[in-house]
Amino acid sequence: MRGLWGGAAALGSVSVAFGSMLWSQQKTKPEKAATGSNRADTNADSPYELKLVQILFRHGARTPLKSIPDVMEAQWVPTLLEPPPHTSIDYVVTDLQGGPRPPAPIEDSYRNNILSGGTFPGQLTTLGMQQLYELGKRLRRRYIEESDFLTSTFIPAEVYVRSTNILRTIESAKCLVAGLFQQKQKAIVPILTSEAESEILYPNYHGCKMLKILCGHRWAESTTLPDIAADLQSIQSELGIAAHQKVDFILIRDDMVARETHGLPCPQVLDTWRDKVEQRAVDMMCHIFEPSKRESLQLSVGPLLHMLVDNIEEKLQGTSLEPSRKVFLYSAHDTTLIPCLLALGIFDMRWPPYAADLTVELHQNRKTDEAFVKVSYVGEDQLIPGCSAVYCPLEEFKQVLSTYSLSPQDYNSHCNRTVGPTEP
């Protein structure tokens, strides 16, 4: 399971779809769901009128992607995955055109392995479902209870829901919608997904050949950086992991955080290594996604950033196919959020917690009609470097994103280049 699927095995756990891959220096033991409060006005007294909301969020707590080898096994029993009744809604998973759900090779790959206790890797747990339900309730307070922005019942014309084609993100989207609308719906909720080859909600190493070349090269480099290599050798020895086992700090962190979040036992050695595991995991990923290596970030999130701007432009110009659309929900991964945060210049050097959300709001000045964008992360407003204020004039925001944004045509052109890496 060390790749996106089949042919991408060389990239190992770099695969975004395979989940947890960056870092935090949070000192709390369990990784908790994101909390926070966005304090900006949404009422009529504000000089800004809210026009559109786009929310990119991480799935909730889950089973690990792979257990640390040669250490005590945690018991991942099926009762940890039972859905709470209040997260139930009527929904259907489709492709982007509303047709049948595409094949899901990444999800299928999880079924090739069974964790101790009987469940599969990478599955959303009861706790994870509750985390997304709570995020939905927070969004409800902001966009329904504190304002009249959204109708209190789900209406497909108002709310667009898209997810990566992986069960944990699909279920996370469902739970968020259940919390947002308190299970009230006027129609079945469509959750749209993409073919694996063309997915843009995570860095697609399988679908973009050049990204695989760039990140594969830097991934291999990261494991040989002197400090990382030395610490990895030390922790393997202390944990009693055989030298031939292929482990890294990302794998160790993933299993460690999953265990602690669900109250399952961890090897005692990790008590003293926790902060170092966090630090080294992020050192590896920062090496791969280093913003100065522009093309890696472009190919990782360029099409996604372009889509966010397109949605804003269509809303302002009145060219949207759904003129009453108010919210776009994108259910994805921590490894989606990290490159987005890096591209925006607001990565806080902490691993995105379960249910973390990156929210992009479009506002218009009520008097001048000038457009502004406000970004928040885990409920806290962000001042984007390159923006003159938290309410960022749209042209400034577009200029910030222009470094990394890629149109679908440019993305495909870059991905299919046959020459070697061009990054410095």
Query: Residue 27: which residues within 8 A CB-CB, separation 6 or more?
Result: 275
Residue 161 structure tokens? 């829901």
Query: Residue 375: which residues within 8 A CB-CB, separation 6 or more?
Result: 344, 346, 358, 359, 360, 361, 381, 382, 384, 392
Distance of CA 212 to the CA centre of its chain: 19
**Based on the number of CB atoms within 10 Å of its own CB, is 144 exposed (0-12), middle (13-18) or buried (19 or more)?**
middle
Q: How far is CA 126 from CA 10, 60, 370, in A?
A: 32, 9, 44
- How many angstroms separate the CA atoms of 360 and 38, rounded? 12
- 159 pairs with which residues across the strands? 327
Residue 36 structure tokens? 């926070």
231, 248, 254, 334: the active-site residue: 334
- The answer to whether 89 and 177 have CB atoms below 8 angstroms apart is yes
Q: Is 248 a catalytic residue?
A: no
59, 306, 333, 363: the active-site residue: 59
DSSP string, 337-367: HHHHHHHHT---SSPPPTT-EEEEEEEEETT
- 364 pairs with which residues across the strands? 49, 371
- 363 pairs with which residues across the strands? 50, 372
Q: Which DSSP state fits 318? A: T
State the SS3 of 222-276: HCCCHHHHHHHHHHHHHHCCCCCCCCCHHHHHHHHHHHHHCCCCCCCHHHHHHHH
Query: β-strands 189-193, 371-377: how paired?
Result: unpaired
Q: Is 59 a catalytic residue?
A: yes
**Based on the number of CB atoms within 10 Å of its own CB, is 210 exposed (0-12), middle (13-18) or buried (19 or more)?**
buried
Residue numbers annotated as active site:
59, 334
